[in-house]
A and B are shown apart, each in its own frame.
Chain A
């Protein structure tokens, strides 16, 4: 959480995360290059660079795309999510090394511009077998570049989280393009069925993880809340919510986090202003609702980040009738103070 975008806080966990990424990438590159060199010594330097960088980038892309659904399914994976954008930028740099070396190797020093050559050398766009596989790879690289460039919180803030998230969903398109780039390119040459099985397994694993996570979310979104009275809906009993924790309810269109803090019940909008993290899956620390994704904090009674931070989310009216929590899904303007509800009171 920040009021300016000057420097990233390099805390211990971030350093550790980045250190592990660097160590893994270096070890991977050494192993790939070393084994290729030992068992296939005729390789050229350019091919070694192109292949080691690309295979590592594809592996990292799978890990990156798996982290989101894994965290939705099991919160213990959250430490992997915290610094995921560094993993993404690393993956982009590797993909860029692959792309730049490939364009230089296959398209430079010809009779047309290398970037034009990517699209017009092979023009069999109407044939699957002969399809110009470098074009989808290039488009995927551009998408990854846009994502890497806009990965900083500066862009998140200026583009708005919604637009930023929408933009970053293009990574799925990039992934599909990468899969076809591999399948219609190097696989046609190598032809080893094991490679096809690896690509297939990677894709199926991601599809299954994402669909499982989506199913879990869907259950929350479609839970029926039938008891209604004066614009309020009954969501649960007080005892259903642990102290300092929340339950999430999807009423009408959006999710609302209902928190219990010091024997009072508060309701705020569930979507964190930072990256849309689920505030209801966080907990109250030092009197603040803390987002599980990146630790952004909000005060439970007014949905405002503590000064000097400026993020604000909507708050909602709550009342308690016979130990049951009733919620009015009509949001107050972001940052509106609410007193919350106590179990022995009606309303506020």
Chain B
């Protein structure tokens, strides 16, 4: 570069030496920047195959139950013994809200309690990994019909005993399809809002073989425990609970005060998070 050259921004042309240098710098920055675009795009973890059927309403017929969580028991056939078999679809409301509010409104509109009645709801399906939820939104006019259930087949219950598990507390609406990622730290605030808004929390556990398990969470007395979970959402925690399988979901009756963070300094904590035996 000519030492006599002097750059002034308001001149229409930069001196040749400055222009040459600037071209080189911009070229280099552009290459680095665009390489970063590709690198950062490729470094992202794979997003889940969860689905939120946004804008698509589906009618689902089932028996409404308020316990363990507001949900529909949908009969899909009969087993070899001739017994009806069911899939349970937990219900969620619009936005970051549980279904209780909209159910209460619909019950008042219809002048009847839905518990153990056969209802047909029109809603938006959310599903992933073999589990499904149904969003019922007042704006979608979700109530199609409510009738007495033709037959009330009691739920199959299997007591799995006391367990100690390590996993992550999720808000199922986001995890099973509405958001990606719907778990972990970036999603933590949203999960807290969803759970505080009444969406039934789910405990997610997975093992080294890639097997996943999802549990519904209630307190020891079988009541919702959303407000107690706020500080433990979306991070690895351990808990003690009594596990009871009710049809196709397992319920954790979480012992009071048993939830513990399993975090800490990463390099020291391999012994903290280990394969914990469960007692049956």
The 8 A CB mask of B4-30 against A (1 = contact, 0 = none) is 001111111110011101100110011
A144 at the interface (CB under 8 A from B): no
In this assembly, does A149 line the interface, its C-beta being within 8 Å of a C-beta of chain B? no
**In the complex, which residues of chain B have a beta carbon less than 8 angstroms from the beta carbon of A283?**
6
Task: Give chain B's interface residue range (CB within 8 Å of chain A).
Answer: 35 or more
Residue B249 is within 8 A (CB to CB) of chain A in the complex: no
Question: Does B181 contact A295, Cβ atoms closer than 8 Å?
Answer: no
CB–CB B7/A35 < 8 A:
no
**In chain A, residues 92-116, which have Cβ atoms closer than 8 Å to a Cβ of chain B?**
105-112
**Interface pair B9/A295, CB less than 8 Å apart:** yes
CA distance A93 to B278 in the complex (A): 52
Closest Cβ of chain A to B280, distance in Å, is 32
* Cα–Cα, bound, A36→B36 (Å): 13
Residue of B nearest to A189 (CB): B184
A180 to chain B, nearest CB (A): 13
- What is the size, in residues, of chain A's interface with B at 8 Å between Cβ atoms? 72
Contacts between the two chains (Cβ within 8 Å), count: 186
A79 touches B22 (CB 8 A): yes
A35–B21 contact, CB under 8 A? no
Chain A residues lying within 8 Å of B44, measured Cβ to Cβ, are 36, 40, 51, 190
Bound-state Cα–Cα, A70 to B134, Å: 57
Nearest-neighbor residue (CB-CB) of A39 within chain B:
B42
Contact A35 B36 (CB under 8 A): no
**Which of A40, A80, A112, A184 has a CB less than 8 Å from the CB of B46?**
A40
Q: For residue A29, which residues in chain B have a CB less than 8 angstroms away from its CB?
A: 37
Contact between A43 and B94, CB atoms less than 8 A apart: no
CA distance in complex: A34, B131 (Å): 30
B33 to chain A, nearest CB (A): 6
Q: Using known A-B contacts A79-B7, A106-B190, determine if residue A129 contacts B263 with beta carbons closer than 8 Å.
A: yes
Contact B192 A122 (CB under 8 A): yes
Cα distance, A117 to B41, chains bound together (Å)? 29
Our pick among A12, A108, A112, A290 for the contact of B13 (Cβ within 8 Å) is A12
Judged by a CB distance under 8 angstroms, whether A194 is at the interface is: yes
> Cβ of A185 < 8 Å from any Cβ of B?
yes
Whether A107 contacts B189 in the complex (CB less than 8 A), given A31-B41, A82-B9, comes out as: yes
Told that A39-B42, A111-B197, A189-B181 touch, could you supply 9 new A-B pairs with CB distance under 8 A? A24-B33, A29-B37, A36-B41, A79-B19, A83-B9, A107-B189, A112-B193, A295-B8, A295-B11
